[in-house]
Structure 1
Amino acid sequence: MKILVFPHDLGVGGSQTNAIEIAAGIQRRGHDVVLFGQPGALNKRIAGLGLEFVEAPRPSHRPTPWIVGALIRLVKERGIDILHGYEWPPALECLLAARGSRAVAVSTVMSMAVAPFIPKQMPLLVGTEDILNRERNFGRTRVELMEPPVDLEENNPMVDVGADDFRRRWGLERGSFVVATVTRLAAELKLEGILSAIEAVRRVEPALRIQLVIAGDGPARREVESAASVVNAALGRDAVKLTGQLTDPRPAYASADVVIGMGSSALRAMAFGKPTIVQGERGFWELVTPQTLPLFLRQGWYGVGDEPLSASSSLAGLLTALHADPKRRTALGAFCLKTVSDRFSLCRAAELQEDFYRRALEGQQQKAVLRNDADAARRFIAHQFSQHARRLFGPVARDDFNAMEKLLATPSGHGPTIRGRS
């Protein structure tokens, strides 16, 4: 098969990293794969995996006509069989480009809600069982599960990724208890938890010598830096470290005693055999254990709590308990590694995606997708009108289908599981 993969963005992030790594796995299985998109930090990763990259035109309002035109030319010139868009803007652009051609457009959505204007008949992969069930109830006929995978050859406790050098570079004290998070500093999904984690460091007993490493960058960086400065001044030491964006974040995982994360970042932490605390919103913090694993397998590596005011104290309690029990940390790290090895390997994901592509080609209904889902067009127009109206009154979420209101107002009327900590 000849496959074009179009991530929504090539800045560091989970969905786009998954897109690239699975594409490399598909290529290793003997298929021709090309990556398409706007250049970004992950281009180095694309080149390192031996994938061809074609630069996309700069987007404007999505779907962007000149992006669709570039895709149409690539389909004709290269005989592309599959156009694979990650998240809704590339999905719609791939769908429009496939019109009148032999190519089939498919989509993956790793956001916590699926845009309702992606046509129901379009072949779609989603990241959690809860979202899969919601979308089937919404009427999607060709939706399947693709849990975010981890490349275990490059992410495991036996790989020397320079953890000691990382600790020296960032001034992590000998004997300190290192808590790491690798995350985008964005308002949607992330910021509330990051600020709670910084405050949790202040609340923990100073004798524990906890140091929090925040690896990442984004539009909320100034707010995060300000909060870190306040806590560091209060404690009289560099208890919170911001590294900025790391092209290779593996040393941050490897150097940690405990990792905080959500989505694919949590899974990468688990691949390094680290005790992992899953971050969500509204005070959600939950340790990955044999008892909590079924929850995460169902709803994904994220949650919504019901006690936002106690978020930092809840996390401080978890960190204090883990610090006091090295044997439990070792056991939980081993459990996390086994979980990823058994269920989330990249090889398994590549096999599943290859089969998904073959079935999409065998059941070509692309013309029916565009003809029969006028409802999708109406939903898209309503979405665009809503976004425009909201801009008149203030900023609009950049990751619009990761914003909290989208998570709690999904097409089927059921948001993610809400679970708080006492």
Structure 2
Amino acid sequence: MDPLVSIIMPVYNCDKYIDESIKSILKQTYKNFEIIVLDNNSTDNTLKIVREIKDDRIKVIQLGSNKGLNASFEEGLNHAKGEFIIRHDPDDISLPSRIERQIAYLQKHKELGMVSCLIKCFTYDTDYINQSTFIEKIQNHYIDKESILNAIIGNFIPIIFPTLMIRKQLLNKIILSQLNQEFDDQIELLLELIKIGGVEKVNKVLYSYRRHNEAYHIVKQHGYEEHTRIALENSDIKNHILYSKLYQNAKINKVNINLNQRSDKRILMLIDSLNIGGTETHVLNLVKSLIDKGIHVVVGTSGGPLTRMFEDSGIKIVKVPIKGDYISNRHIFGLLNTVKQIIDRENINLIHSHLFGSMSIANQIYKKYNIPYIVTLHGLFYPKDVLYSTCINASSIIAVSEPVKEMICGQLGKRVKDKVIVIPNGINIQEQTKDKKDNTIRKKLNIPDDGIVITYCSRLAWNKTIAAENFIFSCHNLALQYENLYAIVVGDGPDSSIIKREVDLINNSIGRDLLHLEGASFDVIQYYLESDIVVGTGRVALEAMSCCKPVISIGNEGYVGIVSEEMKELQWQTYFGDHDAIEKPDIITLGKAIRLLLDNPKDRKKIGLWSKKWCKEMFDEDLVAHRTIELYEELI
């Protein structure tokens, strides 16, 4: 038997159009469907007209009050028996072959969760003729998946919800009641569906979309435009689209969210955004470790590329729309209300904040509600006014390195001296020592198995761009002597285009692909495992060392050199060149360090084995989590 299609039609006072709309469905070439009409307490003849249409496939549910489109659709979905779902507007018309063609498309494209179609936008009101022509033209311009997603990145949604046929199993993955219901539309639902199910269009007009002066989007046009802007911003869909390839390549086993509801340590981890960087990765690993040790943790953030990684790791994310480093007085009040609701709902008794905006919010929450908070300082980039306004009231301040501790004590002196504790970033040693699998990176980049690979990994911004340039030009100088040398740059940022131009120039000049610019990656470990030498700073250095790789440290503050047992104290005191340095980087100095490791493979192996041992003793995330929990216990 053909799969059943459930057509959900919320209605309210639409007696002018309802008969034509329902009969357009009854004329479908595909016959195995049900129509679920949900009446929102209409006061005109809508319900009477529906009951006069005699067809056993029509089911009428009277809601008793006007619950609106979103709630009506959810009620209809609860009654739907179909494998496929359509929400049909009662003033629109489906062309006869619509259902048949859309089912055929989804059966052919099993990877898609839903499919739309082209539209005919029509009106009998001369005031809306030009508008109808524009809507039809622009909606039908975007057909394939790539063009649809590019439109969304450009702040335009080229999908009209009732044109969709949706797999019910896709809808079952979304908790509708948790979506924003302020505007009586389904923009949030549409964006969530696109994130988890993808969408394309049948390249044929199958739906007639009516414009008239009672249409919801016309009556509420200004509100609709503003709501759409906010929905696009809050849904994090742009990051999802832009980083979709990274998600596909990320090796992570999705686990269910674990909240440890019985824990007496209830932490709100506040972080401005979840971009791809050392701070965010540290927070991800820390929260995972805390949850594994029975701590109740939820993460409050504005979102970002790593959001899905957090959620797939079993971490609960709550939306806190922190925008920018400095929060205005007008904006702070809305944020405080949002955060206080989270605190009350989750019974939070301690806030742990990271980065500028989160630190400001934690301070304001403390002053208003007397909830203690911890600040973690991740570098030397904090202005004194930010430190003063956020750290004075903190119950404790975690510095990730000795230079950071010296910085905060130097800036604020006696006011914070007794509150500062050094806890380094932690790494999962076991996770970094997985076996290499068929040299996948080398195969992808056409690097031979006997090639010597040097990897530089960093965000391409600030002084780290200078470090990247020193790296690629050092490799260029060495390539003439070492014909089997290959170099990889992993990372993106505002200076990516600069590095790309230089990489292309060098590769063209020597006539081979010496340098490979890989962009951002969620799984940088795979690059370290297939490298012979790693150049970087901070978390890059730690993760590479945990993979038994020799590291040359160079970062925002400058050059420190090869990380070895003899140099370990200096490396820790400078945090591998990111928080202090012994000299400014230059091509000659970096080249000498690379050459030294290239010429001494036994030393490379010896340094790599020691590096892993030192990481286990000093930076294991289990130790970091234990020290963090001890601090929590002191404060709660």
Bin for the TM-score computed over the shorter chain: 0.7 to 0.9
Distance in 1, matches of 2:381 and 2:518, equals 30
Deviation, structure 1 residue 222: 0.3
Moved more, 169-178 or 233-242: 169-178
Instruction: Tell me if the contact between 1:41 and 1:247 (Cα under 8 Å) persists in the aligned partners.
Output: no
Tell me which residue corresponds to 2:323: 59
Tell me which residue corresponds to 1:77: 345
Tell me which residue corresponds to 1:40: 304
Distance in 2, matches of 1:283 and 1:121, equals 33
Greater RCO (Cα-Cα under 8 Å, separation 6 or more): 1
Tell me which residue corresponds to 1:304: 581
Instruction: Tell me if the contact between 1:155 and 1:268 (Cα under 8 Å) persists in the aligned partners.
Output: yes
| Residues 268-287 of structure 1 aligned to structure 2 (within 5 Å) | 268-281=543-556, 284-287=559-562
Tell me which residue corresponds to 1:405: none
1:191-228 CA-to-partner distances (Å, cap 9, x unmatched) read 11001101101111524132111111111100010111
| Residues 13-52 of structure 1 aligned to structure 2 (within 5 Å) | 13-52=277-316
Deviation, structure 1 residue 240: 0.9
2:420 aligned residue (143, 153, 158): 143
State the one-letter code of the partner of 2:280.
Answer: Q
Distance in 1, matches of 2:518 and 2:313, equals 25
Q: SS state of the match for residue 147, structure 1?
A: coil
Distance in 2, matches of 1:226 and 1:23, equals 38
Distance in 1, matches of 2:325 and 2:315, equals 28
Instruction: Tell me if the contact between 1:163 and 1:252 (Cα under 8 Å) persists in the aligned partners.
Output: no
Tell me which residue corresponds to 1:111: 379
1:243-278 CA-to-partner distances (Å, cap 9, x unmatched) read 111121111111100001111111000000000010
Determine whether 1:204 maps to 2:482. no
Change (3 A) 1:280 1:352: same
Q: SS state of the match for residue 339, structure 1?
A: helix
Distance in 1, matches of 2:587 and 2:446, equals 24
1:4-48 CA-to-partner distances (Å, cap 9, x unmatched) read 112233111111111121111111111111112122222232123
Instruction: Tell me if the contact between 2:559 and 2:582 (Cα under 8 Å) persists in the aligned partners.
Output: yes
2:591 aligned residue (305, 311, 316): 316
Q: SS state of the match for residue 5, structure 1?
A: strand
Distance in 2, matches of 1:58 and 1:103, equals 19
Distance in 2, matches of 1:336 and 1:212, equals 21
Tell me which residue corresponds to 2:403: 130
Distance in 1, matches of 2:337 and 2:400, equals 29
State the one-letter code of the partner of 1:93.
Answer: I
Distance in 2, matches of 1:28 and 1:257, equals 33
Instruction: Tell me if the contact between 2:322 and 2:358 (Cα under 8 Å) persists in the aligned partners.
Output: no
Distance in 2, matches of 1:112 and 1:61, equals 15
Distance in 2, matches of 1:163 and 1:300, equals 33
Tell me which residue corresponds to 2:368: 100
Deviation, structure 1 residue 190: 0.8
Determine whether 1:179 maps to 2:443. no
| Residues 241-280 of structure 1 aligned to structure 2 (within 5 Å) | 241-280=516-555
Instruction: Tell me if the contact between 2:274 and 2:301 (Cα under 8 Å) persists in the aligned partners.
Output: yes
Q: SS state of the match for residue 173, structure 1?
A: coil
Distance in 2, matches of 1:41 and 1:67, equals 22
Change (3 A) 1:114 1:145: farther
Tell me which residue corresponds to 2:510: 235
Gaps of 5+ in 1: 362-422
Distance in 1, matches of 2:284 and 2:521, equals 17
Deviation, structure 1 residue 280: 2.7
Instruction: Tell me if the contact between 2:267 and 2:350 (Cα under 8 Å) persists in the aligned partners.
Output: yes
1:125-172 CA-to-partner distances (Å, cap 9, x unmatched) read 01112322343342313111011111112112xx13646112111222
Deviation, structure 1 residue 89: 2.0
Change (3 A) 1:26 1:253: same
Distance in 2, matches of 1:294 and 1:58, equals 37
1:11 aligned residue (275, 290, 297): 275
Distance in 2, matches of 1:12 and 1:161, equals 24
Distance in 1, matches of 2:517 and 2:335, equals 36
Moved more, 250-259 or 105-114: 105-114
Instruction: Tell me if the contact between 1:178 and 1:212 (Cα under 8 Å) persists in the aligned partners.
Output: yes
Distance in 2, matches of 1:351 and 1:132, equals 20
1:59-111 CA-to-partner distances (Å, cap 9, x unmatched) read 15623413333112111222111111112221111221233335212110111
Deviation, structure 1 residue 53: 1.0
Change (3 A) 1:162 1:8: farther
State the one-letter code of the partner of 1:8.
Answer: D
1:91 aligned residue (341, 350, 359): 359
Q: SS state of the match for residue 27, structure 1?
A: helix
Tell me which residue corresponds to 1:168: 443
Instruction: Tell me if the contact between 1:285 and 1:315 (Cα under 8 Å) persists in the aligned partners.
Output: no
Aligned positions, number = 356
Change (3 A) 1:142 1:240: same
Distance in 1, matches of 2:287 and 2:438, equals 28
State the one-letter code of the partner of 2:392.
Answer: K
Tell me which residue corresponds to 2:145: none
Tell me which residue corresponds to 1:120: 392
Instruction: Tell me if the contact between 1:275 and 1:288 (Cα under 8 Å) persists in the aligned partners.
Output: yes
Change (3 A) 1:103 1:307: closer
Instruction: Tell me if the contact between 1:258 and 1:274 (Cα under 8 Å) persists in the aligned partners.
Output: yes
Gaps of 5+ in 2: 1-264
Q: SS state of the match for residue 238, structure 1?
A: coil
Moved more, 78-87 or 96-105: 96-105
Q: Over aligned residue pairs, what C-alpha RMSD do you find?
A: 1.9
1:273-298 CA-to-partner distances (Å, cap 9, x unmatched) read 00001013576140001111011222
Q: SS state of the match for residue 190, structure 1?
A: helix
| Residues 339-354 of structure 1 aligned to structure 2 (within 5 Å) | 339-354=614-629
State the one-letter code of the partner of 1:149.
Answer: G
Distance in 2, matches of 1:97 and 1:289, equals 44
State the one-letter code of the partner of 2:592.
Answer: G
Moved more, 236-245 or 292-301: 292-301
Instruction: Tell me if the contact between 1:3 and 1:82 (Cα under 8 Å) persists in the aligned partners.
Output: yes
Tell me which residue corresponds to 2:117: none
